[in-house]
Amino acid sequence: MSGYWAAIAERRIGRRRAMAAGGGIAGAAALLAACGGGDEGPAQGTSSLVVKPEDTSKQATRGGIIKASIATDAGSWDPHVRGAWFGTLGALLYSRLTVVKPGEGQPTSGDIAGELAEGWEISPDGLTATFKLRSNAKWQPVAPVNARAVDAEDVAATWTRWRSVSGTRATIDNSVNPDAPVQSVAATDGRTVVLKLAFPAVTLPSLLSASVGQAFHIMPREAGQGYDPRTTQIGSGPFYVNEHVASSHIHLKRNPGFFDTTRPFVDGMEFPIVPEYATAIAAFRTGQIFTYLVRAEELLGVKRDIPDLAMYQSGITVPQATLFFGYKNTQKGMFRDKRLRQAYSMSIDRDLFAETWYNVSSFTSQGLPMEVAWSSAVPANEFTGWWIDPRDKDFGPNGKYYERNVAEAKKLVAAAGFANGVEYVSTRAGGNYGPEYDRQIEIMEGMAAEAGFKPMTNVVQYQNDLIPNYQNVQGEFEGIAWMLRPQSSSDPIDKLAENFFSKSGPNFIGFDPQGKGDHSGDPYVDDQIRKSRVERDTEKRRQIMRDLQRYLGEQMYLIRPVSGATGFELAWPALRNFMYFQGTRRAEEWIYFWLDQTKKPLGGS
C-alpha cells in the first residue's frame, strides 16, 4: 500500500489502539462538553451532538438565497445529453411526468407520484397509459417560451427529440429495443398524453421518474428550433438559470410558474463551482455555503470548531466509484475471466473501506451509532426490501466472493495464468466527479495490489473520451474503468437492468458468461429481468431481485461502491427542514428547505 490509502489505514490502526487504551471515552466527554446541537432537539438514543430532522414548513418564511456548491461546470444544458453536473442541478431545473416521493423523516420508499402529471390511468389490457397534465405548470419566463403553460404537445415533442438523442432511450423506446415498452407518445388534447405500449409494463411510472441526465425530462417543443438547448437552459422545474459564468458560478432564480405554489420557499440558489475540497470546506466553515459533505475523519473536528453547526445522521450512503470491467476480446481484456473478477472483489476489505471512508470507530466510540452495509450487485442504499447484504446468511454461498481473502484471491489470479500478478489499465475521468472520487479509487486499488493487481492509471477527458470510448461501448475496452453510469428508472430491478440486461443499449456493460468477449449478455439474467417487467406482485419481484443478487455474486460482472454506512452531515442552522424530506438525491430535496434569517450564518449572535 502507498499514498493516501497507506496513510489513512495506518491512522485508523493507531486510532483504534488509542481507543482501546481508554482515550475514547475521555475524548468523547470533552467533545460533548464543547459542542451543542441545533435548536431542533437531539435525536432519541443518540449523542446530544445529533439533532433530529424536523418538518418546520408551517413556520417557513419566503425569501432568501440558498448558497451551496457544485464540483463541476455545465458543458451543455441539454438534459437529454449526459453531463456530470446533472446530478446536482437537474431536478432543480427540469420536470418529469412522475417523480419519486421523498420520505418524511426517513429514507424514501421509492413510491411514485406525479410531477407534471397530476394523475394517470392504465387500460385493463395494460397496453395504453393515459397521463393528465397539471393545468398550472409553466415554463420559465424567458424567450421563446415566455412562461406559457406546459402542454401535451411539449411532451409529444420531447418524445420525438429524446428518442433521437438520449443514450438511455433503449430503456423505454420499443423501436430501438423490443424489450422496451413504449411504442408511441401522442397528445390527444392540451392536457392529455397517451402512451401506447408493446406489453404491460408494471414499472412504466418508475421509468418516467428518473432524474439522471439523458432521462425523459420534458422540454419545450421549441427546443432545437426556437433555441439551442446546449447553450440556453429552459425548463419547468422549481428554478431556472439566472446567471452562469463558466468556471466561476451558476445562479438560479425561482420559477414563478412552477406548479407547486407553496414551494420552493427561497427566491434562488447560488452554486460557486468549487472542484477543490479544501476551498469548499473553507467556504463552509465561514458560512459562505450552508452545507457541505465534510470528510468523515474531519467532521467531528469541524463540529468542535464551530459548535453552532447542526449535525444530522443520514441513512445508508455509498461512495461514488463503481468498477466496470472491460470485456474486449484482447490479451489486455483479461477480466473476461471470471476468476480475475472474483479475485479483485476478494482483495477488498469492505469493513476496512467503511472504517476508512466513514470513520466508523471514531463515531461509535463517542456514542454516535453507525451501521455498516456491504453492496452486492445492488448498492447498499437501495430501497428497503430489494437489497441483500452479502454477509447475510440468506445470501448463500456466493457471499464468499465479497469477503476479504487475499490468499484465495492470489490462487485465483495464478489459476487464470497470472502467477506474477496482473498488470491492467485503470481508466478514470479527470476532475468531473469531485475531489473525493480519486481517493475512493486509491483505497480500493491499494487493497487490490496486495493480491497482485498492478494498475496502470489512464486519466481521460470525460465528455470526449470517457463517455464515447468507455461508457457507451458495452464493455469494448481493456482493463477496468471507474465510472458513474445513469440509471433511467427509479424501480430497483429496472436500475439493475440498466447495466445487466443485454438489451439495455449503450448502458449494458458487455459481459457474457463464457468470457468470449462477444457482449451477448447472460441468458439467465436477461430471462429474470424480462419476468420482472410483467410481474405485478411486488413480493415476487423482490424475490427475483434476491435471486439475481445471489447469482451475480459469483459472476461479479461489476463491483459496486463496495460498502456504505450511516453517516453524519453538517449544516448551518439557518437551513431549515434539512434532512427531513429525503429523496433519491439532494437535488430533489432543495425545494423543501427554507431560510431562517434569525439563525447563523444569516443572523444571531
pLDDT digits (tens, 9 = 90+) for 528-580: 999 998 898 999 999 999 999 999 999 999 999 999 999 999 999 999 999 99
User: With 80 as the cut, is the pLDDT of residue 471 above it?
Assistant: yes
CB 69 within 8 A of CB 290: no
Element (H, E) at 161: helix 152-165
CATH code of domain 71-240: 3.90.76.10
pLDDT tens digits, residue range 306-322?
999 999 999 999 998 99
User: With 90 as the cut, is the pLDDT of residue 95 above it?
Assistant: yes
Boundaries of every domain in the chain: 71-240, 322-564
Helix (H, G, I), strand (E, B) or coil at 581: strand
Q: Which residue is listed with cell 429474470?
A: 528
User: With 70 as the cut, is the pLDDT of residue 6 above it?
Assistant: no
User: With 50 as the cut, is the pLDDT of residue 35 above it?
Assistant: no
Burial of 248 (0-12, 13-18, 19+ CB in 10 A): exposed
End-to-end CA gap in the chain: 48
Helix (H, G, I), strand (E, B) or coil at 578: coil
Task: For residue 51, list its beta bridge partners.
Answer: 42
605 pLDDT band (50/70/90 cuts)?
A: low
CB 326 within 8 A of CB 469: no
pLDDT tens digits, residue range 53-73?
999 999 999 999 999 999 999
- The pLDDT score that the predictor gives to residue 43 is 44
CA atoms within 13 A on the CB side of 384: 7
CB 91 within 8 A of CB 454: no
* Cβ-Cβ contacts under 8 Å for 560 (sequence gap 6 or more): 318, 322, 375, 376, 377, 378, 379, 380
User: With 80 as the cut, is the pLDDT of residue 7 above it?
Assistant: no
- The pLDDT score that the predictor gives to residue 214 is 84
Residues in the chain: 605
- The pLDDT score that the predictor gives to residue 18 is 32
- The torsion of the CA quartet 595, 598, 602, 605, rounded to 10 degrees, works out to -160
Residue range 322-564 in CATH 3.10.105.10: yes
Percent of the chain with pLDDT over 70: 92
Rounded-to-integer distance, Cα 527 and Cα 448, Å = 33
Strands 112-114 and 98-100, sheet pairing: antiparallel
**Average pLDDT in the chain:** 90
pLDDT tens digits, residue range 335-367?
999 999 999 999 999 999 999 999 999 999 988
- The pLDDT score that the predictor gives to residue 318 is 92
Element (H, E) at 65: strand 65-67
- The pLDDT score that the predictor gives to residue 37 is 38
- The pLDDT score that the predictor gives to residue 47 is 65
| Equal fold, 71-240 vs 322-564 | no
pLDDT tens digits, residue range 499-511?
999 998 888 999 9
Rounded-to-integer distance, Cα 296 and Cα 355, Å = 10
- The pLDDT score that the predictor gives to residue 390 is 98
User: With 50 as the cut, is the pLDDT of residue 50 above it?
Assistant: yes
Mean pLDDT score, 247-259: 97
26 pLDDT band (50/70/90 cuts)?
A: very low
Percent of the chain with pLDDT over 90: 80
Where do runs of H (alpha helix) occur along 332-399? 338-346, 350-358, 360-364
Task: For residue 82, list its beta bridge partners.
Answer: none
